[in-house]
Amino acid sequence: MDTLAIIFESIIIGALIGFAVGAGAARMFHAPSVQGMGAFRTFGELNACEGDPLSHFSFGLGFLFNSWASVVGAGAFTQDVEHRIIPNWAAAALLWKNRNVAETLHNPKKMAFIGTVIGAVLVALMNSTAVAIPASLQAVATKVLVPAANWLINPVMPIVFWIAAIDAGERAGMWGTVLGGLAHLIMGNAVPGVVLGILIGKGVDDLGWNSITKTLLTAIIILFIGSAFFRGFDAKLLTDFHMGVPAWLIEVHKMFGSVVK
Amino acid sequence: METTETTNQQTGFWYSEWAFALFVAMISAGIFAGTHMYYVYHVGAFNDIAIVAMLQAGIEGGSYGPAAAFGASFLFARVLEGPLVGILDIGGALQTGVGIGIPAILLGMGVTAPLSSFPLALLTGAVIGLIIGAVIVLIRKFTFSENQSTFGADVMMGAGNASGRYLGPLIVISATMASIPVGIGSILGAAIFYAWKKPIAGGAVLGAMVLGALFPILTK
């Protein structure tokens, strides 16, 4: 009884997610003029496979074992289903027939439809199988891919984006350096900060300080302050400078449900 | 090599701003319903074990505070960041914010209906996603009205392409640290793929898998 309900619900959920992930991933290749959806790591990894279907497939496969084991063992898929498996397998399926990335991987419509199929099948299969994955394969996938992916996210991608910002001109380099450093301090990864630095630097190069760039800068400042507060960075900052955290600040954090250590 | 696409190719529904809001509504419906499945059948939550464990702590009678605060703060930061950089982070905003934070807030308030019923879960997720998508589209409308500047899109694309090239060598390095057979398999796979003029990441993964299946990594 439950199994049927699980399969039925999984197909619907997988199709919805697959459609959106496929379209969002394709739109990432047109960012920032088109709003995409995914992650910088997904973007980097999709680029890493250079439009080769076998590479996309095997990269997704490596993470499949891990996700599958995780959902069988703990009921949680890991984030890789949406970040890595669906986008890479959708890319592999499309590139199998046509090696031109501009017509396949970068096309939101095609990626959405193939993603729907892959998402529905994958989620239903993973949710309904209680058959354990060979532990040896799971161990290899975890031991090999997880560290490599983590290194890519930190420090490789921050450095590559940072250098790109520095090479893109004085203004982008300066903003990228400052915002990138702050982002690594506050958010734990420099890439969003460097990207914002390139954005504001290049925006000012092209447009000067007009209402758009001023609004951008204001939004960036709000983003950094908001992130710092919600991640408890303010309290950590005071502690690291050997100053006590005032009781009222702890209370404010409590109001938002977070506990200051 | 990638070149930045010209704007005239990016017209029509699939590239439109409001289609984005629709995509966010769809994925949020799926993610929220995934959390519903976890709540009811204990399977199918779209997040890492460690993060789902925070929600589980609340379900088991503990506090929903940590999951709610963690998820909500991620959602807030990513929704602001998304429209600025042009990529909404699925992991932080949606999988953690909509999939863990908002359910934790609802359950903490004693509202269980959206999580126990599948249709209601889909609807709740879709509405939340539509709101998030609309907020992002509006932020974009107020910041990038017309494309008078590419805002360094070409620089970011170049960096994205460049960072991707690091993955192959990183996988081989990681494999050599895992165990000798896995390392050798990964090196051979990478070399064969390189000879075939394919990106070496795929070969490195497959080689590591094949040898890892034959000679499992010894666990203590």
Min mean pLDDT across A56-60, A63-67, B122-126 is at A63-67
Torsion, Cα of B47, B51, B54, B56 (10° steps): 30
The pair of structure tokens assigned to A161 is 């984006």
* Distance (Å, whole) CA A233 – CA A222: 14
* Distance (Å, whole) CA B110 – CA B100: 15
* Distance (Å, whole) CA A219 – CA B138: 13
Q: A3, A128 in Cβ contact below 8 A? A: yes
Residue % of chain B over a pLDDT of 90: 45
Q: A231-254 pLDDT, tens per residue?
A: 788 888 999 999 888 889 888 887
pLDDT for res A232: 83
pLDDT for res B91: 86
- Across the range A96-118, mean pLDDT stands at 94
User: What is the rounded average pLDDT for all residues in chain A?
Assistant: 88
More confident of the two residues B125 and A5: B125
Q: A3, A93 in Cβ contact below 8 A? A: no
User: What is the rounded average pLDDT for all residues in chain B?
Assistant: 85
Sequential DSSP letters for B136-176: HHHHHHHH-SS-S--TTHHHHHHHHHHHHTTHHHHHHHHHH
Interface of A with B in 161-180 (CB under 8 A): 161, 163-165, 168, 172
More confident of the two residues A172 and A67: A172
User: Is the Cβ of A143 closer than 8 Å to some Cβ of chain B?
Assistant: yes
Candidate from B46, B74, B80 with C-beta closest to A219:
B80
- Across the range A211-217, mean pLDDT stands at 84
* CA angle, residues B107, B110, B113, in degrees to nearest 5: 75
What are the φ and ψ backbone dihedral angles of A76, each rounded to 5 degrees? -115, 130
Candidate from B90, B136, B178 with C-beta closest to A35:
B136
Q: B102-133 pLDDT, tens per residue?
A: 999 999 888 999 999 999 999 999 999 999 99
* CA angle, residues A36, B24, A43, in degrees to nearest 5: 30
The pair of structure tokens assigned to A166 is 């520095």
pLDDT for res A253: 83
pTM for the full model? 0.79
* Distance (Å, whole) CA B32 – CA B103: 8
- Measured between CA atoms, how close is A236 to chain B, in angstroms? 16
Interface of B with A in 85-144 (CB under 8 A): 85-91, 95, 118, 122, 136-137, 139-140, 142-144
* Predicted confidence band of residue B145 (pLDDT cuts 50, 70, 90): low
Q: Which of B22, B87, B123 to mutate to test the interface with A (most CBs of A within 10 A)?
A: B87
Q: B5-52 pLDDT, tens per residue?
A: 444 456 789 999 999 999 999 999 999 999 999 999 888 999 987 788
* Distance (Å, whole) CA A68 – CA A123: 9
pLDDT for res B147: 54
Q: Which amino acid is located at A192 in the chain?
A: P
- Measured between CA atoms, how close is A69 to chain B, in angstroms? 11
Contact B174 A148 (CB under 8 A): yes
pLDDT for res B3: 40
pLDDT for res B1: 36
Candidate from B15, B202, B217 with C-beta closest to A49:
B202
pLDDT for res B144: 66
pLDDT for res B70: 73
User: Is the Cβ of A203 closer than 8 Å to some Cβ of chain B?
Assistant: yes
Candidate from B46, B83, B170 with C-beta closest to A35:
B83
pLDDT for res B181: 95
* Predicted confidence band of residue A1 (pLDDT cuts 50, 70, 90): low
* Predicted confidence band of residue B149 (pLDDT cuts 50, 70, 90): low
Q: Which of B7, B23, B179 to mutate to test the interface with A (most CBs of A within 10 A)?
A: B23
pLDDT for res A166: 96
Highest-confidence range of A16-25, B56-65, B106-115, by mean pLDDT?
Answer: A16-25
